Chains A and B, each alone.
Chain A
């Protein structure tokens, strides 16, 4: 089945096309993108390189800086894990992927520059995994960019078959899909074939199937930032399992469909409304009461040269963090 002659709806179509052409999953995705967007190969590669550059600088910023999130709930964890990782129980690469994922997510939460991949909330997973695997296997930018196209292949299929927003399908649709995309890119970078990449994606998604979206105070901070780290770790394990020859019993496209179906079954309280899960815990609720604006207070807040007599309280210009 094809999508109006453009992007195929199934991962198996893309995998088969890659296998029969003897090219990578990323190469097939790149060709489809050029056809769909009407842009040259050079331009598509240039755009993806720009994404990679932003991912890299977000990692650096998150690991080195002392970031404070806009809501004040997260920040500084990436640096802690980075500092600790050589003594870690779960190994250098898993912890590198996790600390980088934390770093990018912390940058996002503190109004820094990121690449939504597939969403802003889940923006840490792919850079965390991809940059760690690229370092591990000694991949250059050209190969890393092609691996991002492989991630894109998985993302396109997930978006068209199931949806990729927490409001539609819970966090499985954001962090779950991000992990699936990341795992596929990792397999490609490590030299696995397109089929292994698709199965790594499927296994990642299976691990995160059913994950709810329950952000405290409705902000992209808790649990989002840490979920990026865990999703990166799952993607690393799934990529390794696929490279070891393990295959998902349920075919990748069926796993994606199951994710979509589970998303539709999720109650609204667990789909980004901040009414269930961690958001509805006593601590979640009290944090929300502290951070969120109290709508009973109808007075205004002024920022500017002069205070207006009728405007209630004045707020100092902020955003200097």
Chain B
């Protein structure tokens, strides 16, 4: 396992903490990408160390900055709460016992319940796992694993034969190689969530093609 010097001297980031600030920005950005439209309402539940130290680490501003589409090195993060207010994004922070509901969680975890400008909704759980990296572990009631480090196609679909085959066909036809795939479902022949990470970059046209397939309710692409 090698390391780049730019992981040692770098990244360039807004302080004070890679786990509590930079990683939190990533969670917010992933949540916005998964909602796939401009959020107007966000209910943010903070857990563990995020809940205890959010103020001094700017975790609240980082999450909201991510929701506004800012990156971990964006100097507007410091003012993100005011900027959210100006952008018409209403935010509420809460501190429920998330582990009672979801089981054991990473100490740096947040749950974001979002409403978008055209009425889309999504609820995601994300954790900051060190070094500024983050992972989304839940989308609505489905388990997931999205890091945002690879391009990914995420679909919510009816759990029936042929859907996954159709999705992989769409990617194959576009000359895109699948790096990894996870499917989780609520029950047999219920609804399912697929996360397909790819080697090559993918764009929204792939999501359009996926959405055109009967049985696919939602399809989005995550761009790293």
Chain A residues with a Cβ under 8 A of chain B: 3-4, 6-7, 29, 33, 36-37, 47-48, 50-51, 54, 69-72, 107-121, 123, 126, 148-149, 151-153, 155-156, 159-160, 164-165, 181, 217-221, 291-293, 295, 297-306, 308, 311, 317-321
Contact = CB atoms under 8 A, between A and B. Distances in A.
B18 A119 contact: yes
B180 interface: no
Contacts of B91: 302-304
Given A4-B1, A4-B2, A113 B95 contact: no
Given A111-B61, A293-B51, A302 B90 contact: yes
Contacts of A308: 92
B79 A50 contact: no
B80 interface: yes
A162 to B, nearest CB: 13
30 contacts: A3-B1, A4-B2, A50-B12, A70-B16, A109-B16, A112-B78, A113-B73, A114-B12, A120-B18, A218-B49, A218-B53, A220-B16, A221-B16, A221-B56, A292-B56, A293-B51, A293-B52, A293-B54, A293-B95, A300-B43, A300-B93, A300-B94, A301-B94, A302-B90, A303-B93, A304-B84, A305-B85, A317-B82, A317-B85, A318-B81
B1 A118 contact: no
A303 B90 contact: yes
Given A152-B5, A306-B90, A111 B53 contact: no
Nearest to B78: A111
B18 A219 contact: no
Contacts of A109: 15-16
Given A6-B2, A156-B5, A293-B55, A302 B92 contact: yes
A185 B46 CA distance: 41
Interface of B: 1-18, 21-22, 43, 46, 49, 51-58, 61, 64, 73, 75, 77-82, 84-85, 88-96, 130, 132
B2 A3 contact: yes
Given A6-B2, A219-B53, A303-B91, 10 more contacts: A71-B56, A109-B16, A111-B21, A112-B15, A120-B22, A219-B56, A303-B64, A317-B81, A319-B79, A320-B82
Contacts of B73: 113
B81 to A, nearest CB: 4
A155 B8 contact: yes
Contacts of A121: 16-17
A189 to B, nearest CB: 15
A217 B130 CA distance: 19
A118 B90 contact: no
Contacts of A115: 9-13
Contacts of A299: 94
Contacts of B21: 111, 120
A112 B75 contact: yes
Contacts of A151: 9
Contact of A292 (B13, B53, B78): B53
Contacts of A155: 5, 8-9
B16 A108 contact: yes
B16 A305 contact: no
A111 B16 contact: yes
Contact of A165 (B49, B88, B96, B130): B130
Nearest to B47: A295
A111 B77 contact: yes
Given A303-B91, A319-B61, A319-B81, A29 B14 contact: no
B12 A319 contact: no
Contacts of A217: 53, 56
A236 to B, nearest CB: 19
Contacts of B43: 300
B3 A159 contact: yes
B132 to A, nearest CB: 8
B143 to A, nearest CB: 26
Contact of B9 (A71, A126, A311): A126
A105 B56 CA distance: 14
Contact of B4 (A36, A306, A311): A36
Nearest first, the 4 A-B pairs at minimum CB distance are A304-B90, A71-B56, A108-B15, A152-B5
Contacts of B52: 218, 292-293, 295
Contact of A51 (B1, B12, B16): B12
B149 to A, nearest CB: 16
A116 B11 contact: yes
A148 B9 contact: yes
A118 B95 contact: no
A112 B14 contact: yes
Contacts of B61: 111, 319
